[in-house]
Amino acid sequence: MKIIEIPDELYLALLEETLKGNHREVHVFIKYLLQQKNQREVISHNPLFSNGTGKNLVTKGGHIPHGTKLQCAYKGRTFSGLVDDGAIVVEGERFRSPGEAAIYVAKLQGNDRASINGWIFWKYFDSLTNEWEVLDNLRKKSTQRTAAMTETSNISQSNGKNPDQGEIFVCKGKQANAKGKWLRDMFVVLEGSFVNLEEAGALQKRYRKIRRGLLGDGSLRREGNCLKFIRNAEFNSLSEAACVVLGRSANGRTEWMLEKPTPEVFWQYLILRLLNNSGEALEAPTVMERIYKGYKDKMFSVADLLNYENSKEPAWQHYIRLAGENLIKKGSLKKGLPHGLWEITESGKKEFSRLRDYLRENLGVKS
């Protein structure tokens, strides 16, 4: 008999399938798992989402994407630059930082002793707004994107790791029905997504400007009583994408939901459901015990019952604790309470209703 080694993840999935009593032939189930894996890999390597083959410029001050157009005006003359394969190219010369390129421009104009902050000196072309902005703004947006990616991990993973960049998110409201995904450090709203036509009066000017820019370059087009993305569009954060899609102020962390629920969503839903029904603050171990007793036979997998990595804590307990911490971070559970005490907030009650509707729509959850 030939013996082959399989990953632990596949072994646990097969074991779980067997214990559930689903008598699907093993080779059929393995084929299904491999198809899912291949599909994620194809999506993540789709050349439609590539920003070119060149390297980004990496400096101590920050990163500038390959292909970024630069411009500056100095002593009556306008200079153009381009980030190309890890360097800024100005008039055929290559530089390793915005400051070096700025000093070169100053020397060309007769100033040999210039000390210039290149991040303020140069402007870059923002393809979303179709306007030239100070290069330092690009660095600030990069920081915002990093924070947004951290926020996303709270709703896309239960183990605290970075979100899977193949996962699809959805955002819905009135006429809006959009899909998006993380690609590198940008959130991309996908072609075919629908956007609310009307804009709320309180919508910030910069989001109005982005919407106008997308309409102007043909990325958005009117279709009936809504707008439709004709091509993929990149955004700096979940919130920026949500505001553009919904036409109003929005918290991207709550408006964008994974198209396919993850275990993290279930754990958060169960915590909020229990606290909402109890109407009082409960100790975290009490919440864990009640969830375990009520749902062990309904939704716990074999992997959930094993110890988490090298710890003595069961995996299910670790995931519930982490879900509770994430709920506190986003304001669904009260902050500042004694350690280990959980109490739902008004925002948490709304989040519970939203998660309940989300799970009903995607998985048929009844309560």
The residue ranges of every structural domain in the chain are 57-126, 148-258, 263-363
Q: Which residues contact 47 (CB under 8 A, 6 or more apart)?
A: none
Q: What residues are paired with 58 via a beta bridge?
A: 63
Q: Which residues contact 163 (CB under 8 A, 6 or more apart)?
A: 149, 152, 153, 156, 157, 182
pLDDT band at 13 (very low <50, low <70, confident <90, very high): low
* 40 pLDDT more than 50: no
The residue-averaged pLDDT of 275-290 equals: 93
Question: What's the chain's average pLDDT?
Answer: 80
Q: Is 123 left (phi over 0), alpha (psi -120 to 50) or beta?
A: beta
Q: What's the pLDDT at 333?
A: 95
Q: Strands 123-126 and 169-173: what pairing?
A: unpaired
* 93 pLDDT more than 70: yes
CA distance 302 to 234: 39
The residue-averaged pLDDT of 208-221 equals: 93
Q: Indicate the class that CATH gives domain 263-363.
A: mainly alpha
CB-based contact 316:305 (threshold 8 Å): yes
pTM: 0.45
DSSP state of 85: T
The residue-averaged pLDDT of 72-96 equals: 93
Residue 143: C-alpha distances to residues 119, 137, 186, 194, 362 (Å): 15, 10, 12, 28, 33
Q: What's the pLDDT at 161?
A: 35
* 298 pLDDT more than 50: yes
The predicted-structure confidence for 138-196, as pLDDT tens digits, reads as follows 877 665 544 444 444 444 443 333 444 568 899 988 899 999 998 877 899 999 999 99
The residue-averaged pLDDT of 129-137 equals: 86
* 25 pLDDT more than 70: no
